[in-house]
Amino acid sequence: MRTADEYAAAARENFLAGYNCAQSVLLAFAGEIGETPERALRLASPLGAGMGRLRQVCGALSAAFLVEGALRGYADPADAEAKAALYARVQDLAHRFEGEMGSILCGDLLGPGASTSPVPEARTPAYYAKRPCLKCIECGARLAAGILSPKKAEET
């Protein structure tokens, strides 16, 4: 298994290759959650830019939630204990992300003037320079790595 830093680096490379924030993180974990790369990319595709460029919950964090659900989610709707335990873990992930990044919302992370147009911006050096997205992606990937191995994630 890779280290949290290796997952973060893979997610970063994915983003720099043109994938959205959610795709970048989930693709780094595709094998670990039993998905093909193409299926992981499709599953995460609507979550980029805070859910379809609505600037809501950061896609990198949303992908960490998907890793949590794939590995430790519940399937029985009557299992209230499993549901509560999952929601507690999701809230913990969100609080940890917020503690490191300052918010879980894409619009807050990008700052005033973040466009909600459905048309994505061109990926230029200026695009990357003005955004915290790479840091968010690395944070989301490290959190997701902790789901695979909580003890190892604390060491990195």
Question: Residues 3-17: pLDDT tens digits?
Answer: 999 999 999 999 999
- Is the pLDDT assigned to residue 146 strictly greater than 80? yes
**Half-sphere exposure at residue 8, Cβ-oriented, CA atoms within 13 angstroms:** 15
Structure confidence by residue, pLDDT tens digits, 22-48: 999 999 999 999 999 999 999 999 999
Confidence of residue 53 (pLDDT cuts 50, 70, 90): very high
Contact 58, 97 (CB under 8 A): yes
- Please give the pLDDT value at position 55: 97
- Provide the token pair at 34: 């039993």
What is the tens place of the pLDDT at every residue in 64-112?
A: 999 999 999 999 999 999 999 999 999 999 999 999 999 999 999 999 9
Q: What is the pLDDT of residue 150?
A: 61
What type of residue is 4? A
Long-range contacts of 106-114 (CB under 8 A, 24+ apart): 106/49, 106/50, 106/51, 106/54, 106/55, 106/56, 106/57, 106/58, 106/59, 107/50, 107/55, 107/56, 109/58, 109/136, 110/55, 114/55
**48: nearest Cα among 31, 60, 66:** 60
Mean pLDDT value of segment 114-133: 92
Q: What is the pTM of this model?
A: 0.94
Q: What is the mean pLDDT of residues 139-150?
A: 92
125-156 residues labelled b (16+ CB within 10 A) or e (exposed): eeeeeebbbbebbbbbbbbbbbbbeeeebeee
In this prediction, residue 1 carries a pLDDT of 80
- The two three-digit tokens of residue 77, written as one number: 């709707």
